[in-house]
Amino acid sequence: MWQGKKLGILGGGQLGTMLVRSAIDFGLQVFVLDKNPDAPCSRYTGNFVAGDLMDYETVMAFGRMVEVLTIEIEAVNVAALRDLASEGIIIAPDADLIGTIQDKWTQKQALLSAGIPVVPGISIADRKSLYALPDKLPGCLKLRTQGYDGNGVMMLHTPSDFDRAFDAPCVLEELVQIDRELAVIVCRNAQGDIVCYDPVQMVLDGERHLLDYQLCPASITAGQSDEARDIATRVAISMNLVGILAVEMFLTSEGKILVNELAPRPHNSGHHTIEACNTSQYEQLLRAALGLPLGDTAIIQPSVMVNILEPEPPGRKALENGLSEMLGQPGTHIHWYGKPAGRPGRKMGHITITGRTLVEVLEKATDIRSLVRN
Ligand code: ADP
């Protein structure tokens, strides 16, 4: 029986709050652990615990309060998850998968050994070892652990760039000529059933290298869409996934699809699934973790998702007024994360715009994009 079960979420950010909404629909009792006592989830459960997700004892004590444990961030103590599983607590996704993914090098090795096409790269111990590798330029240097949202990634073009490179274990990848950035969310339950969402496309702002908007479905051919879904499915099977997994990919200028990186949790690239698909990624994760049949992933309507970033200080009032006005447009759905006003550029929410056609949603998104950029 799943009704009334105690669900624990490691991480209390906005992805957690959207998962809490679905957990309420399933009648679950929700427990959340996050270091920040003011994390967005703290407002939505009486069972919020402030504590360090990387601390073994903290995660053990929290995990023992629940029956099913999942994550909304991958920086968690994996040894504790292993021990909790041996005590009979259901961990989805499991500790081995999270452990593999926490390190971009072990992640790449696991993908390679499963025959998945990845961006070619080598492991680098520290900054000084880069100086022996000028022939690897141009390249993309990534911290093996703890990178997020583009922090922990830098482009290296000439040997003089080595002077400002990360001085930590890294992966040095070939610089890919990217035609499109895609993501596919795949979900698998313990019975081995698998479902896959249609690929979405991340359109970046060339100047600032930030997400401009995300498009669903991606503007790619049916063959490319099938290939992307097939890759995601193979990744899920090879990693013995129970839960959901976002597979970020590059469609190269030569037409190849390469896996960039994995996130075994609800992901930004699945924000739109709440309004645009038959089953949201959050509900899907709960179905997988509870051993239930998986939901239909079909797109109900095309969508565009735009992040709302904290503006430079004088812009806050205009942003708030502009957002209220936007809500007058049909098919405009707001997700305001309720974070305290932060540094400019911080993600404060997102808007999903749905409509009958991609052309229509793109047109509707024009105003919101310019509002959010300013
Ligand atoms: P993060 O997890 O921090 O977002 P990513 O691996 O997704 O890091 O990289 C951030 C962005 O950098 C990608 O969205 C892509 O635009 C660019 N990028 C990453 N790897 C490469 C690469 N090997 N070649 C070219 N561009 C890359």
Residue 74 CB–ligand 1 contact under 6 Å:
no
Report the separation in Å between the CA atom of 291 and the middle of ligand 1, taken as the mean of its atom positions: 34
Residue 138 CB–ligand 1 contact under 6 Å:
no
Q: What atom in ligand 1 is closest to the CA of residue 176? A: 24
Q: What atom in ligand 1 is closest to the CA of residue 177? A: 25
* pLDDT by position in tens, the chain (length 374): 899 999 999 999 999 999 999 999 999 999 999 999 999 999 999 999 999 999 999 999 999 999 999 999 999 999 999 999 999 999 999 999 999 999 999 999 999 999 999 999 999 999 999 999 999 999 999 999 988 777 899 999 999 999 999 999 999 999 999 999 999 999 999 999 999 999 999 999 877 778 899 999 999 999 999 999 999 999 999 999 999 999 999 999 999 999 999 999 999 999 999 999 999 999 999 999 999 999 999 999 999 999 999 998 888 888 999 999 999 999 999 999 988 877 898 899 999 999 999 999 999 999 888 888 76
Report the separation in Å between the CA atom of 42 and the middle of ligand 1, taken as the mean of its atom positions: 31
What are the angstrom distances between the C-alpha of 275 and each of 216, 217, 278, 331, 354? 11, 13, 8, 9, 8
CB contact set of 41 (below 8 Å; sequence gap of 6+): 9, 12, 13, 16, 17, 20, 32, 34, 48
ω before 217 within 30° of 0 (cis)? Answer: yes
Measured CA to CA, the distance from residue 38 to residue 43 in angstroms comes to 8
pLDDT for position 374: 66
Alpha-carbon torsion (320, 321, 322, 323), positive or negative: positive
pLDDT for position 370: 83
Residue 212 CB–ligand 1 contact under 6 Å:
no
pLDDT for position 367: 83
Nearest CA to ligand 1 atom 8: 150
CB contact set of 157 (below 8 Å; sequence gap of 6+): 137, 138
The separation between CA 80 and the C-alpha centre of its own chain, rounded to angstroms, equals 23
Q: Residue 228: is it exposed, middle or buried by C-beta count within 10 angstroms (0-12/13-18/19+)?
A: buried
Decide if 335 contacts 271 (C-beta within 8 A).
Answer: yes
Residue 68 CB–ligand 1 contact under 6 Å:
no
Measured CA to CA, the distance from residue 246 to residue 63 in angstroms comes to 24
Measured CA to CA, the distance from residue 91 to residue 85 in angstroms comes to 6
CB contact set of 223 (below 8 Å; sequence gap of 6+): none
Measured CA to CA, the distance from residue 373 to residue 361 in angstroms comes to 18
Closest CA to 201 of 246, 254, 262, 249: 249
Report the separation in Å between the CA atom of 24 and the middle of ligand 1, taken as the mean of its atom positions: 35
pLDDT for position 26: 96
pLDDT for position 23: 98
Query: Going along 153-289, which residue ranges are E strands?
Result: 153-156, 170-174, 178-188, 194-196, 200-205, 210-216, 243-252, 257-263
CB contact set of 346 (below 8 Å; sequence gap of 6+): 309, 310, 339
- Which residue is associated with the tokens 């999942």? 70
pLDDT for position 245: 98
Q: Residue 321: is it exposed, middle or buried by C-beta count within 10 angstroms (0-12/13-18/19+)?
A: exposed
Report the separation in Å between the CA atom of 150 and the middle of ligand 1, taken as the mean of its atom positions: 7
Residue 175 CB–ligand 1 contact under 6 Å:
yes
What are the angstrom distances between the C-alpha of 54 and each of 78, 94, 107, 271, 294? 8, 16, 19, 26, 31
Closest CA to 5 of 62, 49, 69: 69
Residue 176 CB–ligand 1 contact under 6 Å:
yes
Residue 245 CB–ligand 1 contact under 6 Å:
no
Instruction: Return the CA Rg of the chain.
Output: 20
pLDDT for position 288: 98
Residue 148 CB–ligand 1 contact under 6 Å:
yes
